[in-house]
């Protein structure tokens, strides 16, 4: 199969980059960014803005992002739009060659920034065809490679893609989490002012467990009225309670929730017994579900973009949301103590839960956006409103 796939994909003139899928399918293009090779799961993101935020979201660890919007890199990069200092996506696939940056906020070019961060880009690809392939066959494992001389050992790249175990069973949270406790000091960004500082007044205290968080989540908690302390993914119950929190936040992050749950679920279960307010986003939402007795499952293609409609079941209001997840809480097998609160209008998968008899809830999507709509910011206000109640 691999030889046939290679014969059907002759290298076009000028190709300096390639994506080799584990089924033997080969996608040629023009490499940019870092030189070298990287392995990961290929996904697609439908957002029209925020490519820098996407590439620095730790939830994309060990993934190669196919951008369906054709013009990526055209507004350059800047230091204010980074969502994390740790590794996010390992590479990206785009339709058009990256043009010179044209934006008053730009501090550099996207391709040069990718090279600095060690991330590989592949341009000149029919991203619609690749996206359709993922929709039909699921998100594949692959190797993305960039060599200026255009020389590639395709059989070796294929073997590496096939040898990579994939995201199922993989705990990535401990690799992208902060390793030390820190008091969060930033607040929201304003044009011409940059990021503000967290007020020093007496505020309810949130301990945020970092499974691979986007920084804008912490800024949003501050905007909603909280004081935030961030602790590592493997923080113990004693560490969390020792900080005397008014509530606990469970962040987004990458990897298989069942694998991460091996060390996080016991802590969350103990926190539920304390009856502290708990709010989870994305992986944190899945961790909360597992702690309450639900189960999670790998999705066929996942949800990634800034235009995902979600229905709030309490009043049938539809929120347009930002999403990035390849696993989901299985809403076909929710335990009696878990109430489903939100569902995806794309495929009916679970997008929100509440734990009955507890002040604990979670959503699968990203109410802090960055990038994306801000329909769901009220969830931060709801959570902060619970603190001290």
Catalytic residues: 282, 366, 368
> For residue 144, what are its two tokens?
């993305």
Other CB atoms within 10 Å distance of the CB of residue 330: 14
What's the CA gap between 331 and 344, in Å, rounded? 11
DSSP 190: E
Contact 175, 232 (CB under 8 A): no
Q: How far apart are CA 147 and CA 15, in angstroms?
A: 9
H helical segments located in 144-248: 154-163, 173-176, 215-223, 237-242
Tokens of 331: 């809403």
- Separation between Cα atoms, residue 20 and residue 185, nearest integer Å: 43
CA atoms within 13 A on the CB side of 310: 30
3-state helix, strand, coil in the chain (%, to 5): 25, 30, 45
**Kind of pairing between the strands at 360-363 and 350-355:** antiparallel
Q: How far apart are CA 198 and CA 187, in angstroms?
A: 5
Q: What is the CA radius of gyration of the chain?
A: 21
Alpha helices in the chain (DSSP H): 2-7, 51-55, 110-117, 127-137, 154-163, 173-176, 215-223, 237-242, 257-273, 283-291, 378-386
**Alpha-carbon dihedral 217, 212, 375, 203, rounded to 10 degrees:** -20
Is residue 62 within 8 A of residue 158, CB to CB? The reply is no
């Amino acid at each position: 199969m691999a030889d046939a796939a290679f014969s059907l994909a002759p290298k076009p003139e000028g190709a300096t980059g390639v994506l080799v899928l584990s089924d033997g399918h080969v996608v040629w293009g023009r490499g940019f960014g870092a030189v070298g090779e990287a392995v990961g799961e290929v996904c697609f993101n439908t957002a029209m803005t925020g490519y820098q935020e996407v590439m620095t979201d730790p939830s994309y660890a060990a993934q190669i992002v196919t951008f369906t919007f054709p013009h990526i890199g055209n507004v350059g990069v800047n230091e204010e739009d980074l969502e994390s200092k740790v590794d996010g996506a390992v590479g990206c696939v785009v339709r058009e060659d990256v043009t010179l940056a044209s934006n008053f906020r730009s501090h550099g070019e996207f391709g040069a920034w990718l090279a600095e961060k060690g991330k590989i880009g592949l341009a000149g690809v029919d991203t619609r065809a690749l996206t359709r392939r993922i929709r039909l066959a699921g998100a594949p494992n692959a190797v993305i490679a960039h060599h200026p001389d255009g020389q590639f050992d395709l059989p070796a790249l294929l073997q590496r893609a096939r040898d990579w175990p994939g995201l199922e069973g993989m705990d990535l949270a401990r690799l992208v989490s902060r390793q030390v406790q820190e008091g969060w000091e930033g607040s929201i960004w304003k044009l011409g002012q940059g990021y503000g500082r967290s007020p020093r007044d007496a505020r309810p205290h949130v301990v945020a467990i970092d499974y691979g968080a986007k920084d804008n989540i912490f800024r949003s908690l501050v905007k909603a009225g909280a004081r935030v302390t961030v602790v590592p993914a493997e923080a113990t119950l004693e560490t969390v309670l020792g900080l005397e929190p008014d509530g606990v936040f469970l962040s987004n992050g990458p990897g298989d929730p069942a694998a991460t749950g091996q060390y996080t679920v016991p802590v969350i279960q103990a926190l539920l017994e304390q009856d502290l307010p708990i709010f989870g986003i994305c992986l944190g939402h899945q961790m909360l579900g597992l702690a309450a007795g639900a189960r999670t499952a790998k999705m066929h293609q996942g949800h990634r973009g800034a235009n995902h409609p979600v229905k709030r079941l309490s009043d049938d209001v539809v929120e347009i949301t930002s999403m990035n997840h390849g696993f989901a809480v299985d809403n076909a097998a929710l335990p009696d103590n878990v109430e489903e609160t939100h569902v995806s209008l794309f495929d009916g998968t679970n997008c929100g839960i509440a734990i009955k008899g507890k002040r604990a809830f979670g959503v699968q999507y990203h109410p802090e956006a960055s990038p994306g709509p801000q329909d769901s910011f009220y969830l931060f206000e709801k959570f902060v409103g619970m603190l001290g109640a």
